[in-house]
Amino acid sequence: MRVKTFPTGHLFHIQFSHVAGMHSANQSLRSAISLVIDKEELVNKVVASPGTRVADSMFHDWLTIGDTPYLT
């Protein structure tokens, strides 16, 4: 018997607060932090739920516009 798996369509994300006066309100700082976060390690070691994958977009990889993948 073969077990079939299907993506559930859930997307979890971490978001910085943009409240004025907080360090995280600085776009450059948020961009720098985003660049140094290892998404693979975060998903595989912190979340550590079987089947969880890193998402590079909030749109599924099969979503296209014509023949062009729709990624943002």
pLDDT tens figures, 23-59: 999 999 999 998 999 989 988 888 887 778 887 777 7
Determine contact, residues 51/5, Cβ cutoff 8 Å.
yes
Q: Enter the DSSP assignment of 23.
A: G
pLDDT at 48: 81
- Distance, CA of 16 to CA of 30 (rounded, Å): 7
Half-sphere exposure of 35 (CA within 13 A, CB side): 6
Average pLDDT of span 56-66: 74
- The pTM assigned to this predicted structure is 0.56
Torsion angle of the four alpha carbons 57, 61, 65, 69, in this order, in degrees rounded to the nearest 10: 90
Amino acid 53 reads: R
pLDDT of 60 strictly over 90: no
- Looking at per-residue pLDDT, the higher value among 26 and 11 belongs to 26
pLDDT at 58: 76
| Residue 25 tokens, joined | 């309100």
